[in-house]
Amino acid sequence: MAIVWAKCISGVNYEVRSAGNSLRLYTDGVFHSQYNPKQLLTGHVWDLLLLPAFFYPKNKIKRILVMGVAGGAVLHMLRHFFSVDEIVGVELNATHISIGKRFFGLKKSPIKLIEADAVNWLKNYQGEKFDMIIDDLFTEKDGEPVSVAKANHKWFTLMLKHLAKDGVIVRNFINKEELLNSAGLAHASTRKRFDSVFQFNNCLNENYVAAYLKKAATSRQLRKRLVDTPGLNPGLKTSRLRYRVRKLA
């Protein structure tokens, strides 16, 4: 794996490394994103962040909020597979935004990047609601990823305030325990706000992704949509999509 670009900024080490035909972003040694314009699927957790959108018809997901952009892997996938009007990416790290634009193709419409603290930004947001909200907010501590926002009742209430009537909240969890203890499952009044909750994982990551939907859905619907989508049919040898899905509630 060759280093394409590296710089230490304010005591933080940033590296862009090549891995075959892909570019990878590392911040203080933590793997943050991967991008290959000819193969958008990464084989990693960012693919799982994409999948909940397939519980909906192709033209239903129009406005998407992604909190925590890094190199923007999931933004590219959403832009490619869905006819979206706007993808708003909120990222605190100005260097990540600069790297994303320079190396990872994040200048393309309808992607809109905002440099801000995502939690505070959402508290002050007064615009149109989103069909999909993705919480991929992480920082680093001792070379390990750490969630920024606790998945508690307060945080879910804030996200729900800005979610469309039958939209979906997607959250990246470091492990399954965090997912099961999230307010979307463990807090009674928060749990009642959702009609369906699913977990996603794969054999390459310890992370779990949860999808909290404000509508009824089944894993069968999801699988059919994926089979019918060029490039995503897991049954084909050419597909890089690897996932497991389970309905939790």
Dmax over CA atoms of the chain, in Å, equals 50
Residue 91 CB neighbour total at 10 angstroms: 24
Q: Is 179 exposed, middle or buried (0-12, 13-18, 19+ CB in 10 A)?
A: buried
Provide the percentage of residues in the chain whose pLDDT is more than 70. Answer: 99
What is the structure's pLDDT at 172? 95
106-116 pLDDT tens trace: 887 899 999 99
> How crowded is the C-beta side of 31, counted as CA atoms within 13 Å?
15
| Superfamily of domain 41-247 in the CATH hierarchy | Vaccinia Virus protein VP39 (3.40.50.150)
pLDDT of res. 40: 83
- Check: CB of residue 138 under 8 Å from CB of residue 172: yes
In this prediction, residues 204-227 reach a mean pLDDT of: 94
38-95 confidence digits (pLDDT tens): 888 877 888 999 999 999 988 899 999 999 998 888 999 999 999 999 999 999 999 9
Lowest mean pLDDT among 30-44, 117-131, 149-163, 206-220: 30-44
Question: Quick check: helix, strand or coil at residue 36?
Answer: coil
pTM of the model: 0.92
Phi then psi for residue 100, to 5 deg, are: -60, -40
Domain boundaries, the chain: 41-247
Collapse the DSSP code of 126 into the 3-class scheme (helix H, G, I; strand E, B; otherwise coil) and give the result.
coil
Contact 76/40 with Cβ under 8 angstroms?
yes
32 vs 151: CA distance, rounded Å: 20
Q: How far apart are CA 130 and CA 88, in angstroms?
A: 10
Supply the pLDDT for residue 19: 83
